[in-house]
């Protein structure tokens, strides 16, 4: 499931992933939040926290993740990923070279640093 996190500026879409993340999570939570932020801002930021209880993405979620990223490719100002899952850390570091904005991956112990970075002025 995807949970929207509160307490962030409206140019930041902040989410936490728990258990199995599905296409429905993208359709009902993440995509509407991204679209709302994009209506108000030319560039948006994403804080993507993958909790210790994360189990997997289903195939539909993986496809939606790719589509959301590509549809708004030039509008991502910053992306912060918080995770201790090694394969996700590696995948994000590889993918970051293709993003026009900045991307950083933080271990869970540095979640406060990730939150600070995603909200700091450019």
- 61-114 confidence digits (pLDDT tens): 766 666 776 676 788 899 999 999 998 899 888 877 777 788 999 999 999 999
Ramachandran angles phi, psi of 76, nearest 5°: -85, 115
Domain boundaries, the chain: 2-119
Instruction: Give the max Cα distance, the chain.
Output: 35
Return the CATH architecture of domain 2-119. 2-Layer Sandwich (3.30)
Instruction: Please name the residue that has the structure tokens 């030039």.
Output: 74
- Structure tokens belonging to residue 28: 């009902």
pLDDT at 63: 66
Q: CA torsion angle for 111, 1, 102, 39 (degrees, to 10)? A: -120
Could you give the CA distance from residue 1 to residue 16 in angstroms, rounded to a whole number?
8
Q: Does pTM surpass 0.85?
A: yes
- 36-66 confidence digits (pLDDT tens): 999 999 999 999 999 889 988 887 776 666 6
């Amino acid at each position: 499931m995807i949970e929207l996190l509160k307490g962030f500026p409206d140019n930041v879409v902040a989410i936490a992933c728990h258990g199995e993340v599905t296409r429905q999570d993208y359709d009902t939570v993440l995509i509407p939040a991204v679209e709302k932020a994009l209506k108000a801002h030319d560039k948006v930021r994403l804080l993507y926290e993958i909790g210790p209880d994360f189990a997997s993405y289903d195939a539909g979620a993986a496809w939606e993740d790719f589509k959301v990223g590509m549809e708004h490719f030039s509008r991502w100002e910053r992306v912060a990923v918080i995770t201790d899952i090694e394969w996700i850390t590696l995948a994000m570091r590889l993918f970051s070279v293709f993003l026009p904005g900045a991307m950083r991956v933080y271990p869970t112990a540095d979640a406060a640093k990730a939150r600070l970075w995603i909200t700091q002025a450019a």
